[in-house]
Structure 1
């Protein structure tokens, strides 16, 4: 492969933004997000991604057609960023570093250009139609001289209008041809130019049977289709852009001398001290050093209740400061903060390649040779049949237009974008488009217990039934520990005195001397006590030589756990529970939720072995876990779902990440995934039916260029509208 040279594209150079300054380092890779201009179809995606992957150092090149954002990762020098930008420019797609604060809607300017072109085409179409109707209705009563004059006036109106209104197609076609490629706009441009050229020939040399009205109406309907397609795709991609817009553009940096100055948020580094005023968004993941107040953390937690801000609290990018002044210490730069990671997850879900996408892309790549060959055969066939050039060219024009594979190219991406956006609004992050396809086929759902079906926060049971002083004695030890059971004791006892010189025995418990007596609190086996066999988790307190006191704990079920299990069963899913907890608590949870298939005291490798057994029995497995200690099982499943706290989102090994504390979003994810599969198959059917009917009619001469334009635009709009049905709520 020829080495990339360092030539920058004109747009990149003009922007003044050095792409190297936007490169992120992650696990030995250089990562860069670029805003790419001019990509309009699946063929553009294949050309951009394929062109970049010609370099063996490129590990990832993935373009999101809805947002224009290209995620690029390579091994090597960050300075190679300029080379890749130059490569994109030479492919015909200028690119600049992606800056979310200045890219609210990357397609806005293109939409304005399309509207202006549409207005010119519409104005010309209305005026030319008046002249055409006069010629048609005049018939033999209108002299040849007057008809010729009408055609010349039509030419004066249409030719400049077509030159202007056709620019979106002409520019794209020229850009592709200049670099030795062909895209969908090449046959469209060829069809418009042939229609205008044939009309000029007929006006000045031939028999006066012109197609000025058809040429300009063709452009008008094509522009309507292109505009609506862009608007619909933009609407579907609003989730990722909305997240990007929530990233703060600036941050208030607190210097060592106490001065505050505003800097771009992208320049914040870990360790910087920042000042956050009321009404400001947290620019990067940080920790509060000074100040108190309230934060809107709904973006992270999914809960509307404000988060109490106090020193020592970790806060996340995108949180909104509701009141008070806070001093923060940055824990990461902006590109490695939570909100940036969530944005990347959303966009990854919109752009990933599923089996259906790859099938559609292969079909779209066959388009150019097939359609041009079919148009050439149409010309040859009509010349052999009738010997006249004019009908042969007219029918070839119709073939060029009607065979445009826009509907096929949109069949899958439109569904993925809409489904990912819908799930984001429901509190589900999709990490890959093919995850939707895999979840749609799941028929066996395997749950972890602790932190998934339960809250993961043990609570003390029947504190009033404990002997006098026992709770406070245990709490004096527990207040020094971060163990979940110790936290439950401390919460139940409230504020109070902590014992001194407490020793924490790994796997055992806590030990200290209090008022001259040896006090121990921990596991039954450590204390030599016979454990109970009931479903409660337990710890024991031993003071000196006194009898042991049993403390019972329970991990409460999530509020919606029972409803979720019932809903999944109603969707013909088999439910299993695999847990590393003791048999008693696991059996109690399974009984409460009506789960027949359960196993307890399982190590991670045991869970993987059980998943393999379920697969061997013919099940398609979806694993639901907490995303950290269940990571091996999540990776082994056909598809995986994780409930993750804010700190875990970027680490989750799952295909879907549920925000907040509710499991119900997993049912929504299953419904949307199954709905997405239905929409994809319907879109393939629509595209296939359209081509099966339209192409033979065009070859047979039953379709004019005007009707071909209407049919082609209608098929693309129909496919996208069908995908947008997923945006509605309900099953």
Structure 2
């Protein structure tokens, strides 16, 4: 008896792979905590992606998903088994942004009158009326309790597990300011009769309601803009998922057809693909011939012709013809599914780096609590009394609360985004901008990035005795019935297209038909010429192909009468953009899925020396990684679906605004204008934005560090500390608003205009 062959399932029989969706994670530290508790379970290896909120787990076969969800829930988070197909259509970050927006709106509306009244009642006690305490409390409580609840919830969860993050300090600061204000307005009132304004200010009551509400408003604003940015990043995965086939037409053994969901397709199943349908799996063509739009995988505008015996890739679209395909790889094993994983993994690499504020807070938060405790102890030992000790300790907590930090990043990003929009630049987030000033290599995609992405006629060569206009008219007439990209380019170039009769398409070779009283054929040189020597036409063909262009011959009434070359034209701004980058000392690389000849021709036109051609999406990621392994800091510029993984993997991703949703979703910077001269401007704006954010961060923490000793010494009057905190926020906002003047000085404006019109000396 022959033993049954060993299968992959037999090898991994003892291991199962699970994916869980995690809710309630507010930072990368949360993802690390979930990963830690999972990995402590016997037989479990887990990796948690904070960007996608997904835990990928390898566990023993006897491990239950419900048990692992219970482990995560005991750690303070929520978990459920992931339905990847359904959840890629969801947008939890957009939902979270709406949730925060409601709380932010309520908090902001109540904060304005609360701040005005708090200052007035503290500075001018004579303005107080019966029940003023209850008015302030009624305005403050919805803000400090309901609106600030996301921070309190995280702080409580962290406390249960012995942890502390920025939310802990925010929550404690809001709570302390509220408690101190309640004590002041209800239990610690002083007469203010017969004293001057300065005495009133110096000795005024510590009404800190406006501080507690202000911290809530500012930090909620930061969380809201962060959630919006993450929603846009997640859109890359949703756009990719939308391209996959939902149904597939299965070909049964008796020749009948059955439509089934695409996820039920299995290897070695035969399925039918008709014009306009998406190929559901990687496979081998058994019958038929068709043009296939490969742009989802290669980014190239030119369709690829496939015949029986050729391989096809899932996620690509059949333009004409009918194919019968045998599935070779289905579901998660297809190259298309691999592309989705590439984007997920690349985004996860960025999410593993915690925000600067969280890194500092990991040390800053515990230190503040220690200082507050030492302050209270010191005052008690010095005989200051419990009230004074409590007051000084609370002052430390309140003054340490990072009010300005809540504005440091979102304000700079808002101003930079507005200014960038005026310049044709859209900044999506701040994490990857940290690497901007260190970028030393810019990698360009070709089609749709350096080129227009649209085929057009570059040259018409007529044989002796023929006119170029007649040649074009007859070719356009017969091509008018074709949907091929080359045919569309020829047809669109002819102002008056004659009618065609007896049209016939020869798959993989060309088309033929009657235009007027003449028989016309247009197609591959090998099909048209068939060994006939036409020196002038053959020379034109060699020259065009040397430039990386596509050439078709035209035959009229049996005579080879000329050649038409079509190409994807280089953008007018490409050479100037590359020259500007070289002037800044940056290295440029052309990375494309097109053939080497076409890539070299485009590179020569725009001034790029390094060319890497014939590369598929996973290969593009490999190239980016190789450059980074050699110490390069890489910016990637692209526009196609195939560029999504590379854009997400690069240190800085820059997508052309007219490109695909996947490219735009995976990139860090979107070039709204289809003008490449904004690339150097985008790098400059990104550097300026990152510098502004860092200055804001330094100020925000520097202010707290400088003010804490003063508060601990009991020298910081609550009202003055509130004013100082307001000034700190004012500084952060003012510093961020400086970005409105980016490239707006007389010299910079002139320079920008010169770059735009091509007159600048780069």
Query: What's the TM-score once normalised by structure 1's chain length?
Result: 0.59
1:438-477 matches, within 5 Å, as 438-461=435-458, 463=460, 467-468=466-467, 469-477=470-478
Q: Within 5 A, what are the aligned runs for 1:523-534?
A: 523=525, 527=529, 531-533=541-543, 534=546
For 2:93 and 2:426, the matched residues in 1 are separated by 27
**In the alignment, structure 1 residue 112 sits paired with structure 2 residue 122:** no
Given candidates 170, 174, 178, the residue that maps to 1:184 is: 170
Residue 502 of structure 1: SS of its match in structure 2?
A: strand
Distance 1:192 1:236 in 2: 27
Find the counterpart in structure 2 of residue 281 from structure 1.
Answer: none
Offset at 1:121? 2.1
SS of residue paired to 1:457:
strand
What SS does the corresponding residue of 1:641 show, helix, strand or coil?
Answer: strand
Q: Which residue of 2 aligns with 1:519?
A: 521
2:570 corresponds to which residue?
A: 557
**Distance in 2 between the 1:584 and 1:73 partners?**
43
> Counterpart of 2:473 in 1: which secondary structure?
helix
Residue equivalent to 2:510: 510
Residue 382 of structure 2 is matched in structure 1 by 385
**Candidates 512, 537, 541, aligned match of 2:553:** 541
Give the corresponding residue for 1:169.
144
Query: Structure 1 546/606 Cα, relative in aligned 2: closer, same or farther at 3 Å?
Result: farther
CA deviation digits over 1:618-661, x for unaligned, max 9?
Answer: 42222223323455654664433333656654797544444463
CA displacement at 1:377 relative to structure 2: 0.8
Asked if 1 retains the 8 angstrom alpha-carbon contact of 2:178 and 2:212, the reply is: no
Shift of 1:597: 1.1
Separation in structure 2 between the aligned mates of residue 175 and residue 675 of structure 1, nearest angstrom: 36
Q: Could you say which residue in structure 1 is the equivalent of 2:251?
A: none
Task: State the distance in 2 between where 1:187 and 1:653 align.
Answer: 37
1:64-75 equivalence runs, <5 A: none
What's the secondary structure of 1:481's corresponding residue? Answer: coil
**SS in structure 2 at match of 1:541:** strand
Q: For the structure 1 residues 480 and 54, does the alpha-carbon distance in structure 2 shift closer, same or farther, using more than 3 Å as the test?
A: farther
Does structure 1 residue 715 correspond to structure 2 residue 705? no
CA gap of 1:628–1:642, structure 2 versus 1, over 3 A, is same
Would the aligned equivalents of 1:170 and 1:185 in 2 still touch at CA under 8 Å? Answer: no
CA deviations 1:412-468 (Å, max 9, x no partner) are 455445545655676556665433334443221122333211212232245596623
Q: Deviations over 1:267-326 (max 9, x none)?
A: xxxxxxxxxxxxxxxxxxxxxxxxxxxxxxxxxxxxxxxxxxxxxxxxxxxxxxxxxxxx
Alignment CA distance shift 1:615-1:542 (3 Å): same
- Structure 1 residue ranges without an equivalent (≥5): 1-27, 37-42, 63-70, 90-94, 132-152, 243-344
Q: 1:667 and 1:454 mapped to 2: Cα distance? A: 18
Classify the secondary structure of the residue corresponding to 1:383.
Answer: helix
Aligned equivalents of 1:517, 1:363: Cα separation in 2: 78
**Alignment deviations for residues 37-56 of structure 1 (CA, whole Å, 9 cap, x no partner):** xxxxxx97689989999998
Tell me, in whole angstroms, the C-alpha distance in 1 between the residues paired with 2:604 and 2:187: 83
Residue 190 of structure 1 aligns to a residue whose secondary structure is: helix
Closer, same or farther in 2 for the Cα pair 1:390/1:203, shift >3 Å? same
Distance 1:464 1:504 in 2: 25
2:503 to 493, 500, 522: 500
TM-score scaled by length of structure 2: 0.57
Is this contact kept in 2: 1:374–1:399, CA < 8 A?
yes
CA RMSD of aligned residues (A): 5.4
Q: 2-side partners of 1:183 and 1:638: how far apart?
A: 32
- Find the aligned partners of 1:236 and 1:175 in 2 and give their Cα distance: 19
- 1:485 corresponds to 2:486: yes
Residues matched between the structures, number:
547
- Which deviations, in whole Å up to 9, do the C-alpha atoms of 1:487-543 show, x marking residues without a partner? 2211123433255122121xxx30436579683422569856574135362413253
The Cα offsets for residues 323-358 of structure 1, whole Å up to 9 and x where unpaired, read as: xxxxxxxxxxxxxxxxxxxxxx9xx99xx8574x53
Distance 1:159 1:591, change over 3 A: same
Q: Within 1, Cα distance between the matches of 2:730 and 2:358? A: 19
Of 667, 686, 703, which residue of structure 2 is paired with 1:690? 703
Shift of residue 378, structure 1, vs aligned partner? 0.8
Residues 691/409 of structure 1: CA separation in 2 closer, same or farther (3 Å cut): same
Give structure 2 stretches of 5+ with no counterpart: 1-17, 39-45, 57-64, 79-91, 161-167, 191-198, 233-342, 532-537, 745-762
Q: CA deviation at 1:485?
A: 2.3
Superposition map of 1:133-148 within 5 A: none
- 1:577 and 2:590 equivalent? yes
Tell me the SS of whatever aligns to 1:556.
strand
- Which residue matches 1:705? 718
Shift of 1:683: 2.1
- Within a 5 Å distance, the mapping from 1:581-620 to structure 2 comes to 586-587=599-600, 589-593=602-606, 595-599=607-611, 602-604=614-616, 611=624, 614-615=627-628, 617-620=630-633
- From the superposition, tell whether residues 623 and 400 of structure 1 become closer, same or farther in structure 2 (CA, over 3 Å): closer
SS in 2 for 1:380: helix
2:399 equivalent to 1:402:
yes
Q: In the aligned structure 1, how far is the partner of 2:33 from the partner of 2:595? A: 55
Are the counterparts in 1 of residues 207 and 719 from structure 2 also a CA contact under 8 Å?
Answer: yes
In structure 1, distance between residues paired with 2:177 and 2:590: 61
Alignment of 1:190-589 (within 5 A): 190-191=176-177, 193-194=179-180, 197=183, 214-220=204-210, 223=213, 353=351, 355=353, 357-366=354-363, 368-408=365-405, 410-416=407-413, 418-419=415-416, 423=420, 433-461=430-458, 463=460, 467-468=466-467, 469-493=470-494, 494-495=496-497, 496-497=499-500, 499-505=502-508, 509-512=509-512, 514=514, 519-523=521-525, 527=529, 531-533=541-543, 534-535=546-547, 537-543=549-555, 546-547=559-560, 549-579=562-592, 586-587=599-600, 589=602
Give the Å deviation of 1:703. 2.0
Alpha-carbon distance, 1:603 to partner:
3.7
CA displacement, residues 13-37 of structure 1 (integer Å, 9 cap, x when unaligned): xxxxxxxxxxxxxxx99999x9x9x
Structure 2 counterparts to residues 142-157 of structure 1, below 5 A: none
Q: Which residue of 1 aligns with 2:269?
A: none
Q: Output aligned runs, 1:5-154, within 5 Å.
A: 98=95, 107-128=104-125
- Distance (whole Å) between structure 2 residues aligned to residue 376 and residue 104 of structure 1: 36
Deviation at 1:128, TM superposition (A): 1.5
Alignment correspondent of 1:256:
none
Per-residue CA deviation, residues 149-179 of structure 1 (Å, 9 max, x unaligned), is xxxx9xx777545534542336648777877
- 2:641 is paired with a residue of what secondary structure? coil
Distance in 1, Cα, partners of 2:229 & 2:619:
39
* Pairwise CA distance, 1:406: 3.3
C-alpha distance in structure 1 between counterparts of 2:94 and 2:579, whole Å:
48
Could you tell me whether the CA contact under 8 Å between 1:199 and 1:212 is conserved in 2? no
SS in 2 for 1:455: strand
Contact 2:635 2:654 in 1 (8 A): yes
Q: Distance in 2 between matches of 1:401 and 1:103?
A: 23
Report the CA distance between 1:124 and its aligned residue.
2.4
Tell me if the contact between 1:225 and 1:714 (Cα under 8 Å) persists in the aligned partners.
Answer: no
